[in-house]
């Protein structure tokens, strides 16, 4: 179950995670804008814990008609012998008494699995019901990320602050959109205060940051250390002439606006200069996830092919575009 953002990012992030950790047989369906059902995908817990916009993830047991559920469908063998469980029900449409549904679902489980034990505090098995329309989805082995805290890493809570810094939830989603695995290398060529590096490191991804402003490099190091995170390198360098090559993913927020340091160059010039360098910097098959102002039109350039674009409204005067590129060239 996805979080409630009205843009397309939650679905896009889930697709990216399934592409990263799934296989050729993995398929994804969205019966509801906030519900994704994947087939032939086994790392449910890993994807759920990594996803910025994923609230719950589990193994689908059954799809019921909510209008007919009172007929007491059998839920045999859902729980193990004397296994403790708790039930949570979430409604995605209309005003529904979820507490009553939790009782109904819990009674049905207990009747079908008489040796099971209700434990609301620390259950061995969390059962989730999702209601929408006249549908009830029931899942087990549920990972609950609904209480995940982003506040502690918000820009205003960091020792080094800059108004252009990204929110941690958004930064985490950008990392996931790049299809990078935890055993691979990520580059942020315009790292600013380190928002993307912080989220990559929190996910166990090795990362390198570059910024042309020495103040930003020092500030990034301060922020990383304050959260006991480590980067493999934060480099004071010109991102249009990056001192690295062959990374697995590039994730960045292009500098723009009065508060950002572009050293006299336009955001468009910076973007085009860096995209021209991507065939050297990004390995073949790797993805680059680039955030930029919507008025800047980025397109495929040679081996660097534009795959996806998403619009994110920041406020009435600013809309950002997320452009995702892939290096489709042959690795040299």
Write out pLDDT tens, residues 173-232.
999 999 999 989 999 999 999 999 999 999 999 999 999 999 999 999 999 999 998 767
Sign of the Cα pseudo-torsion (137, 140, 143, 146, in order): positive
Mean pLDDT along residues 72-98? 86
What band does 68 get if pLDDT is binned at 50, 70 and 90? confident
pLDDT at 165 over 60: yes
- Tokens matching residue 269: 């010039």
Rg for the chain (alpha carbons), in Å? 22
User: Residue 259: what pLDDT?
Assistant: 46
Start-to-end Cα distance in the chain:
41
Q: Which residues contact 281 (CB under 8 A, 6 or more apart)?
A: 187, 189, 242, 244, 245, 246, 247, 250
Rounded CA separation 79/76 (Å): 8
CB 231 within 8 A of CB 201: yes
What band does 30 get if pLDDT is binned at 50, 70 and 90? very high
Please report, rounded to a whole number, the percentage of residues in the chain having pLDDT higher than 70: 95
Rounded CA separation 49/33 (Å): 20
Q: Where are the alpha helices (DSSP H) in the chain?
A: 9-21, 44-50, 98-112, 168-177, 195-202, 214-226, 267-281
- 263: exposed, middle or buried (C-beta count within 10 Å: 0-12, 13-18, 19+)? exposed
User: Residue 258: what pLDDT?
Assistant: 47
**pLDDT tens digit sequence for 104-155:** 899 889 988 888 999 999 999 999 999 998 899 999 999 999 888 899 999 9
Question: What are the extents of the domains in the chain?
Answer: 9-144, 151-327
Provide φ and ψ at 204, rounded to 5°.
85, 20
Of the ranges 7-21, 89-103, 188-202, 263-277, which one carries the lowest mean pLDDT score? 263-277
201: left (phi over 0), alpha (psi -120 to 50) or beta: alpha
Q: What is the pTM of this model?
A: 0.93
User: Residue 87: what pLDDT?
Assistant: 95
CATH class of 151-327: alpha beta
Neighbours of 126 (CB within 10 A): 17
What band does 332 get if pLDDT is binned at 50, 70 and 90? very low
Same fold for the domain at 9-144 and the one at 151-327? no
Minimal CA–CA distance to 198: which of 157, 163, 231, 164?
A: 231
Minimal CA–CA distance to 173: which of 130, 202, 138, 212?
A: 202
pLDDT at 330 over 70: yes
- The CATH number for 9-144, chosen from 3.30.2130.30, 3.40.50.1370, 3.30.479.30, 3.30.1200.10, is 3.30.2130.30
């Amino acid at each position: 179950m996805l979080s409630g953002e009205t843009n397309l990012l939650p679905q896009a992030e889930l697709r990216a995670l399934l592409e990263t950790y799934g296989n050729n047989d993995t398929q994804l369906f969205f019966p509801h804008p906030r519900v994704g059902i994947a087939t032939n995908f086994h790392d449910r817990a890993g994807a759920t814990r990594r996803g910025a916009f994923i609230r719950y993830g589990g193994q689908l047991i059954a799809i019921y008609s909510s209008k007919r559920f009172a007929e007491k469908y059998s839920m045999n063998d859902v729980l193990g012998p004397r296994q403790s469980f708790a039930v949570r029900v979430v409604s995605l449409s209309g005003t529904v008494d979820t507490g009553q549904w939790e009782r109904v679902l819990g009674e049905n489980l207990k009747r079908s699995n008489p040796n099971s034990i209700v434990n609301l505090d620390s259950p061995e098995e969390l059962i989730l019901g999702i209601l929408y329309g006249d549908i009830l989805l029931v899942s087990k082995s549920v990972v609950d990320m609904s209480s995940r805290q982003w506040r502690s890493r918000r820009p205003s809570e960091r020792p080094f602050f800059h108004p252009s810094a990204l929110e941690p939830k958004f930064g985490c989603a950008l990392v996931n959109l790049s299809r990078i695995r935890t055993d691979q290398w990520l580059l942020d060529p315009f790292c600013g205060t380190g928002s993307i590096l912080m989220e990559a490191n929190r996910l166990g991804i090795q990362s390198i940051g570059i910024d042309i402003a020495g103040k930003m490099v020092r500030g990034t190091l301060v922020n990383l250390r304050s959260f006991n995170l480590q980067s493999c390198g934060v480099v004071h360098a010109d991102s249009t002439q990056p001192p690295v090559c062959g990374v697995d993913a590039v994730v960045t927020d292009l500098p723009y606006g009065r508060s950002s340091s572009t050293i006299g160059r336009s955001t468009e010039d910076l973007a085009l200069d860096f995209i021209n360098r991507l065939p050297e910097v990004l390995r073949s098959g790797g993805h680059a996830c680039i955030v930029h102002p919507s008025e800047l039109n980025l397109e495929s350039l040679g081996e660097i092919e534009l795959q996806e674009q998403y619009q994110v409204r920041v406020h009435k005067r600013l809309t950002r575009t997320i452009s995702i590129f892939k290096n489709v060239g042959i690795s040299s």
